Amino acid sequence: MAKQILIKNTNILAMTENSGSEAIIGDILIEGQYIKKVGQINDYEQDIEIINGNNCAALPGLVNCHTHGAMTLLRGYADDMELMPWLEQKIWPREAKLDAEHIYWGSMLAILEMLKTGTTTFADMYFFMNKVAEAVEESGIRAVLARGMIGFNDKANTTLKEAKEFIPAWQGAGKGRITCMLGPHAPYTCPPEYLTKVLELAYELKVGIHIHLAETKKEFTDIRKQYGKTPIKHVYDLGLFNVPVLAAHCVHLTEEDIDILQEVKAGIAHNPTSNMKLASGMAPIPQLLEAGVKVGLGTDGTASNNNLNMMEEMHIASLLHKVSWGDPTVMPAYQVLQMGTVFGAGAVNLIDEIGTIEEGKKADVILVDLDKPHLYPCHDIVANLIYSAQGSDVKTSIIDGQIVMKDREVLTIDEEKVKFEAKRYAQMMLL
């Protein structure tokens, strides 16, 4: 019989279509990788592992829909710059010095940070993705991985070949915790003929595409000038949306663009902190949600955020749109929590597996400790989670039925070793 875990007497936010925003006090029975039962559970095996969920909120693990994990090594390295000078003068020259071991330890540091702040699934686009996949497999986290590709340089065909080799090697690895996509960087770094090659490969490998779209005003203006279309319409006409697409940012959109994104059922990764820090603009998230587009949240990389804290990202997302719209009712707490959980699961095409607490779903569950001064009194658990809670309030994380963090101790990673090696490799990168 598969191992069982029972979370007893906790405040369950199931995030299902019918559960509503009110927490229900009950139990969660996990068997193997799956949630077996939700409710009042009194009949269970004697050797079951019991977790006391009293004064905790149990919710689906948070989904970080867009990041570049190993950029943890560049945290704080290049701040207060515009996007293109930031990329061309600072980030890309340093990234050229990174090797496989840099990526492994940078990814492990990112995963450690995410596990300690409630993220159980992340979508990553970078390079040396075999090393990222190794870190994912060892740590127990769930990930959607894409080899980032730029179509203008002399490595364009090489990166396409690497992606073609990476996906069959890792698709479904880690007992199904790893899924793969193709990662063309953006329309301004991947010409049409290259994007066509990527699309053909997506058909061949039966995978989706993770791409930056309409991130800056400059991109929007340049693509329209070059091709006579918005970035969204440009890739739509190329056929890119014929496969599942996870589109990062989508800041600068027309009404037609929003209609297209709804029509093709694209997943959107909204990155409010990164967009604010780089002054990229504000994505029309309320309009996208109103149109029924799948919108999740992402942190982007730590060179432009500078953390991977999804609890903070939810908080900022709500406040940003309230002040921008001049309307305190925009982006209410429960809707933002949906973006961090169930909507995010939909955006990364894992809604059949994760994103809710219900029977048959994969057991990705976090417990948030409500016994903190900044969470008293508790008139509304959801409001407290979005407007008051911190990433450090996440007490326990279960992924795929495995306890990966218990009482703030990560059980799958040697935290001190990861911090030591990440610091060492970051220093080597600057030489």
**What DSSP string describes 129-152?**
HHHHHHHHHHHT-EEEEEEEE-SS
In tens, the pLDDT along 286-323 reads 999 999 999 999 999 999 999 999 999 999 999 999 99
Domain boundaries for CATH 3.20.20.140 within the chain: 62-347
Query: In the Cβ-directed half-sphere of 363, how many Cα atoms lie within 13 Å?
Result: 26
CATH superfamily assigned to domain 62-347: Metal-dependent hydrolases (3.20.20.140)
Q: Give the closest residue to 121 by CA, choosing from 181, 207, 61.
A: 61
Residues 18, 21, 26, 30, CA torsion sign: positive
Residue 1: what pLDDT?
67
Q: Give the closest residue to 119 by CA, choosing from 311, 301, 305.
A: 311
Residue 16: what pLDDT?
97
Residue 232: what pLDDT?
98
CB-based contacts of 136, cutoff 8 Å, min separation 6? 107, 111, 142, 143, 145, 174, 177, 178
Residue 272: what pLDDT?
98
Q: Give the closest residue to 301 by CA, choosing from 149, 46, 103, 154.
A: 103
Rounded distance between C-alpha atoms, residue 176 and residue 353, angstroms: 10
Q: Which residues make beta-bridge pairs with 281?
A: none
Tokens of 194: 């290259």
**292: exposed, middle or buried (C-beta count within 10 Å: 0-12, 13-18, 19+)?**
exposed
Residue 84: what pLDDT?
86
Rounded distance between C-alpha atoms, residue 155 and residue 215, angstroms: 24
Rounded distance between C-alpha atoms, residue 58 and residue 78, angstroms: 37
Rounded distance between C-alpha atoms, residue 311 and residue 303, angstroms: 18
CB-based contacts of 45, cutoff 8 Å, min separation 6? 1, 4
Domain boundaries for CATH 2.30.40.10 within the chain: 4-59+357-410
Residues 201, 204, 210, 216, CA torsion sign: positive
**330: exposed, middle or buried (C-beta count within 10 Å: 0-12, 13-18, 19+)?**
middle
Counting as low any pLDDT under 50, the low residues of the chain are none
Angle, CA of 354, 369 and 355, to the nearest 5°: 10
Q: Which residues make beta-bridge pairs with 111?
A: none
Pick the CATH number of 4-59+357-410 from 3.50.50.60, 2.30.40.10, 3.40.50.10860, 3.90.220.20: 2.30.40.10
Q: Give the closest residue to 189 by CA, choosing from 225, 144, 151.
A: 151
Q: Does the predicted TM-score (pTM) go above 0.95?
A: yes
Rounded distance between C-alpha atoms, residue 187 and residue 151, angstroms: 9
End-to-end CA distance of the chain: 53
Q: Give the closest residue to 7 by CA, choosing from 49, 36, 47, 44.
A: 49
Phi, psi of 346 (to 5 degrees): -65, -40
